[in-house]
Structure 1
Amino acid sequence: MPAAKRLVVCGGNGFLGSRICKNAVQRGWDVTSISRSGAPRWDAVTSSATPPSWSHRVTWERGDILRPATYAPFLKGTDFVVHTMGVLLEADYKGVLRGQESPISGLRKAFTAASQPGNPLERRVSESDADIRPPETREQLTYENMNRDSAIMLAKEAAQENVSVFVYISAAGGAPVLPTRYISTKREAESTIASEFPRMRNIFFRPPFLYDSSRPITMPMAAMTGVGAVFNGVTGGIFGNLMGAAGVKPLRVDIVAEAIVQALNDETVKGPVEVPQIEELANQAWRSTMV
């Protein structure tokens, strides 16, 4: 009997990450989640505070995506690695925790036009460095260090461990309410990972807005995004660049999770994966359970 596939999900305790873990263990894979807190707070990602039965088959490890030395040991012997982490708005994270950072201040930082540090490979950041953030943004969560640099460094560590497939959760596009750096840093991560680590089969999922009834706030937001998608279709997509992800059909989070796990095991899938292909991969996953 062949050995079970080994999967590491960085951010496996999150809204999408937890469902990736669920789908993978249901296939009999050996799954490890890495996050700052370890196991999820279940009422934040599902409709119940009680851990689901499948969760006991996942190894919930603690590690800091901004400190490679804390997660690198968990990548040894792994077949697949998935990066699911990112930020929508930047913030002084210590200020947020202490209640000292206001939403207005966070928005001001997010939309700043100030120059940003180059990616960690350009700065020659190594695995032994304590923190991948440059000194000027050490106390802040930025698009550069969360959406771009953390993914690039995780890909670097995965490549060094001869991981066969690396998945980066990118995005379908930005949105009118988000600064352009939200999506530009994701595209920079895709480009750098593809060029610097070609021996891995790199997959860049570009999902739209994700929703699920277990997270009620996502339902009306999905409805609004759905209206935007219809409008974008009716107008022939001429406002697509302006609307970004707000003009793309939203998807249920479980559909995207199923598609990601299906893609990991399908050697034909590589590079950017847009919404139509996400839906097709999810359909393939569903059909495979019917056989």
Structure 2
Amino acid sequence: MASSFSNIGAICKLPSAPSISSISRALFPTTLCSYRHSRISRPRSRRLCIRSSYAGAVRENPNSDAIDVVADVKTERIVVIGGSGFVGSAICKAAVSRGIEVISLSRSGRPSYSGSWVDQVTWMTGDVFYANWDELLVGVTAVVSTLGGFGSDEQMQKINGEANVVVVNAAKDYGIPKFILISVHDYNLPSFLLQSGYFKGKRRAESEVLSKFPSSGVVLRPAFIYGKRKVNGVEIPLDLIGEPVEKLLRATESFIKPLNSLPASDLVLAPPVSVDDVAYAVINAIKDDDCFGIFTIEQIKEAAAGVKV
């Protein structure tokens, strides 16, 4: 699919139908062009040394009358838009596990399920069109948007496009250093399908991220995302489908590669992506100040692998 963006430089480079209603909603979480990326780095832990005359926990310095106070400090504070959803909750959980302060904004607020990490997230109920950004964005180092949905053409353009644009511009206005968007694989669908509200909305959102955050905006473009998804209290084990399919496609990659040129072939041949890989790729983007650009399926997996180890 043609893109309005040309490749830009970075510190390091990475290898950069039927109607929408008839395609399974689980297939798409988002689209655009190939981009060049910065390096993928492993997460960093930071410690702050403070010279002080008093502290509850201190380490004495034999060479000085002063006291060295060594404290672990949370260096990142993020807002996850849609944090109570399938992908959003995985991102919140992964961020908490890495010592990142997390605020979630979603229409449903705090999720119904439990977990030790749930209590460590600040859950806020609200709509991005009416959000109190003064309350949400002060002191934030990154905003992550998982917004996306299906419906009428108008509804899809609003939630996939307009809603994300509102968040991007709010983040820009408040001087947030980084913006991360969960988008969708660039499917090789016929052009008339790519003009639907779903894809047009996603393209508009990506365009906004890359124009407002040209050197710090990150767009992740997974295909089908699998994991244990909870809907109305019922757990749907998408991993029972996605994981075997991913392994099969990888095992037969050399044989099916010639089929990739066929129209709409990657509806079937694009490898599924674990929700954990998406979450850890987000963590990589948060931790690495030089990380930016559009990440394809393989680049998402590579970014996640760098954080997992």
C-alpha contact 1:16 1:84 (8 A) present in aligned 2: yes
Deviation of 1:41 (Å): 2.7
- The TM-score normalised by the length of structure 1 is 0.69
1:173 Cα offset (Å) = 3.1
Q: Which has the higher strand share?
A: 2
Task: Work out whether residues 88 and 146 of structure 2, in 8 Å CA contact, stay in contact via their aligned partners in 1.
Answer: yes
- What letter corresponds to residue 142 of structure 2 in structure 1? F
Contact 1:173/1:183 (8 A) holds in 2 = no
- Kindly indicate whether the alpha-carbon contact (under 8 Å) linking 2:158 and 2:201 is maintained by their aligned counterparts in 1: no
The CA deviation string for residues 205-235 of structure 1, in whole angstroms up to 9 with x for no partner, is 0011111146435245426864678589614
Q: 2: distance between equivalents of 1:82 and 1:241?
A: 32
CA distance in 2, matches of 1:37, 1:157: 21
Q: 1:85 aligns with which of 147, 150, 156?
A: 147
Distance change in 2, residues 1:247/1:187 (3 Å): farther
Matches within 5 A, 1:89-238: 89-90=150-151, 109-110=152-153, 142-174=155-187, 179-180=193-194, 181=196, 182-195=198-211, 197-198=212-213, 201-213=216-228, 215-219=235-239, 221-222=241-242, 226=246, 234-238=256-260
Q: Is the 8 A contact 1:169 1:205 kept in 2?
A: yes
Q: CA deviation at 1:8?
A: 0.3
Match of 1:97 in 2: none
State the alpha-carbon separation in 2 of the partners of residues 30 and 160 from structure 1. Answer: 21
Percent identity between the two aligned chains: 29
**Residue 189 of structure 1 aligns to which amino acid in structure 2?**
A
User: Residue 73 of structure 1 aligns to a residue in which SS?
Assistant: helix
Task: Give 3-state SS (helix, strand or coil) of 2:109's partner.
Answer: coil
| SS of corresponding position for 1:34 | strand
Unaligned runs of 5+ in 1: 43-50, 91-108, 111-136
Kindly indicate whether residue 152 of structure 2 is the aligned counterpart of residue 74 of structure 1: no
Q: CA 1:272/1:233 → structure 2, altered by over 3 Å: closer, same or farther?
A: farther
- Give the paired residue count: 228
Considering only aligned residues, what root-mean-square deviation do their CA atoms show, in Å? Answer: 2.8
Amino acid at match of 2:79: V
User: Is contact 1:225-1:247 (8 Å) kept?
Assistant: no
Q: Secondary structure at the match of 1:53?
A: coil
Describe the shift of the 1:179–1:27 C-alpha distance in structure 2 as closer, same or farther (beyond 3 A).
same
Higher relative contact order (CA 8 A, sep 6+): 2
Q: Secondary structure at the match of 1:7?
A: strand
Residue 222 of structure 1 aligns to a residue whose secondary structure is helix
Structure number with greater Rg is 2
Pair 52,233 (structure 1): closer, same or farther in 2 beyond 3 Å: farther
Q: Which has the higher helix share?
A: 1
TM-score normalised to the size of structure 2? 0.66
The alpha carbon displacement at 1:16 in A equals: 0.9
